[in-house]
Amino acid sequence: MALPSPQTRGAYTLTNLTSSIPLPQLNALFSQPDFHWGKPLSVPQLQKLLNNSICFAILTDQQEIVGFGRMITDHVTVAYINDIYIKQSHRNKGLASWMLECMDEALSSMPDLRGTIMIAERGSGAERLYKAILGMEELGGRDVLLDRKGRGAVE
């Protein structure tokens, strides 16, 4: 699912065309100390990640990737949003909100989608942003979030 065309705001372009996402720079984002939930990947792993996700990247007019996020979905039952990240030096410019608004537009274009899930640190600014922009709510009721680490998990 592609945006109608890459969108621009000032010196930034937001795209979900995976061919526009420079893999070495994406790995540089994944190696940032505050990208604590992941680590850099091999080029084949990065390509697989891009091929199997709906990715959103924010690039500067010098083609530097400064923001990234992705959705994993079957377009019917659920979409899982993850890896939302804006480079520290580009925060507080509304870039995360812009990316989430574009993700929300993509989610809205899936008429059969039953729900969207994501994980956020409780009480964080990210949690407040996801609730405000995407209308996310804390999972309640009988449900529980479960996790099983795979062989490729980072410690």
**What pLDDT is attached to residue 44?**
94
* CA–CA gap between residue 68 and residue 21 (Å, rounded): 9
66 alpha carbon, distance to own chain's centre: 12
Bridge-based pairing of strands 65-73 and 7-9 is unpaired
* CA–CA gap between residue 125 and residue 129 (Å, rounded): 6
Name the pLDDT band for 1 (thresholds 50, 70, 90): low
Average pLDDT of span 135-141: 86
- DSSP alpha helix (H) spans, 36-123: 43-51, 95-108
Phi then psi for residue 116, to 5 deg, are -130, 135
* CA–CA gap between residue 74 and residue 117 (Å, rounded): 13
Residue 3 has pLDDT above 80, yes or no: no
Q: What percent of the chain has pLDDT over 90?
A: 71
Average pLDDT of span 105-113: 93
* 13 exposure class (CB count in 10 Å sphere: 0-12, 13-18, 19+): middle
Bridge-based pairing of strands 54-60 and 65-73 is antiparallel
pLDDT, averaged across the chain: 91
* 96 exposure class (CB count in 10 Å sphere: 0-12, 13-18, 19+): buried
The domains found in the chain, sorted by start residue, are: 7-134 (3.40.630.30)
pLDDT tens, position by position, 80-100: 999 999 999 999 999 999 999
For residue 121, the 8-state DSSP code is -
Residue 119 has pLDDT above 60, yes or no: yes
More confidently predicted of 92 and 138: 92
